[in-house]
Amino acid sequence: MSDLLYLDHNATTPIDPAVRDAMLPWLENEFGNPSSVYSLGRRAAVALAKAREQVASLVGAQPSEIIFNSCGTEATNTAILSALAIDPDKRHIITSTVEHSATIKLCEYLATRGYEITWLPVGKDGLLDPDRLEAAITSETAVISLLWANNETGVIFPVEEIAAIAARKKVPLHLDAVQAAGKVPINLSELGVQYVSLSAHKLYAPKGVGALYVNRRARYTPLLRGSQEESKRGGTQNVASIVAFGKAAELAQAHLLASAERIGSLRDRFEKTILTTIDGVRRNGTDEPRLPNTSNLTFAGIEAETALLLFDKEGLCCSAGSACSSGSINPSHVLTAMGVTREEARASLRFSLGRTTTNNGIDHALEIINRTVAKLRAEQPAGGSPVHIKS
C-alpha cells in the first residue's frame, strides 16, 4: 500500500491488519464446521455468534436479526425476492434511478417477469423527494427498495422519512446500507425498516461476505434453502470471513465518529482545493447530507477514462463516472439520472477517501490531479470542448 494513493474506498477497502489477525486462526487450525457438535465445530459456532453480535451492534440491531451471506448483492436480491414471495399477488416494486446494479439488474429482470417497477427520479442534487415516494405507493406495492447512501456521489437519502412513509402505508422497505454502514451512524432499532443490506468489503474486511438484516417482526422467505443461519440462508458459513466481518464492524463502530471527522475534513480540503484551484470543475450531488468520504467531480474538457490510466501510472486509484462495457464507455446512470449530460458524466471522477488516506497523500493526489487535468486539456484537439460546465 505504501506507494499507492488509494482514493477508491467505495469500490473496496484493504483488509485492516487487526481484521486479518482475527480471521487467520479460522483459516488454519480452527477449520471446524459451525454445525458440527464436537468442540472444533462448537468453537466455530461461538465465533459466528460473536461476529453476529458485532455486526448487529454496528447497526443497532439484535444479533438474531443478522443473517450472514455471501455479499451485499445477495442481501439485496434476497430482501426484494423475499418481499415478493410473501405477497405474491402484489406485483409492484418501487425503487430509484440511482440504485446500485444489485437492485437495478434484479428489478429489470423482474420487469421481464411481469412486475411493474416505479423508478423514482432524483433531483440535480441526487436527493430523493419523499412526497414522490408516497405518491407512487399503490395497493399493489409489494416492496420499496432504496439506497441509504449512494456509492457514486455519497448522497444520503432521507431514510427516516422514507421509513415513516413505508410504515404508514404498510409496505415492506429494504434499504441498501452497503456504503453507509461504518461511515455514518445507523440505528435500526429506531428506524422501523424490514430489510437492510450490508457488505464486509467496504469495511476493511474481505470480499465475498455480507449480511442481511431482517427486522424480527418482518416476514421473510429465504433465497437459499438449507439448515444454516436458522434455515434463513442455507450454505455452510464462511467462518473466517464472517469473523473478519465481525471484527471490522467492531472497529468501525469504535472509530466511527473520529474517523468520519478525520476523513470528512480531508475530503473537504481535497474538494475545496480542487474547486478553487482548477477551472471548470463542479461537484456532483448535494454537499449535505453526504457520506464524509466521497467526492464526485466533473472536470470539463477531460476524458475520465484517460485520466484514470494516467493516474494509475502514478499510483493514484479512483473511479470514473462511466463504465466500460462491451467495448463502449457508458456514462454513469447515477450522474445522468441527476441531469448531468453524457459528455459531463464521461468527464467525471469519483474520489472516495478512507482509513488509508493521509494529509500528505491528499497533497500528493492534488498535485497529480492538477497536473493531469492540465495535460489532458492541453492535448485536446483544436476546437475541442472548451472548459465550460453547465450549472
45-74 binders of ligand PLP (CB under 6 A): 71-73
For CA atoms 175, 178, 184, 188, the dihedral sign is positive
- Which residue's entry shows cell 436458522? 230
Closer residue to ligand PLP in complex, CB, 77/372: 77
Contact 67/245 with Cβ under 8 angstroms?
no
* Nearest distance, CB of residue 73 and ligand PLP, angstroms: 3
Regarding 8 and contact with ligand PLP (CB under 6 A), the answer is: no
- Minimal distance in Å, beta carbon 197 to ligand PLP? 6
Residue of 92, 100, 267, 355 that binds ligand PLP (CB under 6 A): 100
- Report the alpha-carbon distance of residue 188 to residue 196 in Å, rounded: 9
Q: How far is residue 266's CA from residue 381's CA, in Å, rounded to a whole number?
A: 35
Whose grid coordinates read 498535485?
367
Cell matching residue 158: 432521507
Q: DSSP label at 290?
A: B
Could you tell me the end-to-end alpha-carbon distance of the chain, in angstroms, rounded to an integer? 37
Q: For residue 195, what are the β-bridge partners?
A: 174, 214
Least Å from the CB of residue 199 to ligand PLP: 3
CB of 374 to ligand PLP, least distance (A): 31
Does 102 bind ligand PLP (CB under 6 A)? Our answer is yes
Number of residues that bind ligand PLP (CB under 6 A): 13
Residue 151 makes contact with ligand PLP by CB under 6 A: yes
324 is catalytic: yes
298 binds ligand PLP (CB under 6 A): no
Give min distance, CB of 299 to ligand PLP, in A.
Answer: 23
The full length of the chain comes to 391
Which of 8, 16, 176, 229 is close enough to bind ligand PLP by CB under 6 A? 176
Among 126, 154, 172, 210, binds ligand PLP (CB under 6 A): 210
Nearest CA among 211, 145, 191 for reference residue 172: 145
Rounded Cα–Cα distance for residues 310 and 322 (Å): 16
Quick one: 199 or 298, whose CB is closer to ligand PLP?
199
For binding to ligand PLP (CB under 6 A), which residues are involved?
Answer: 71-73, 100, 102, 147, 151, 176, 178-179, 199, 201, 210
**Active-site amino acid positions:** 324
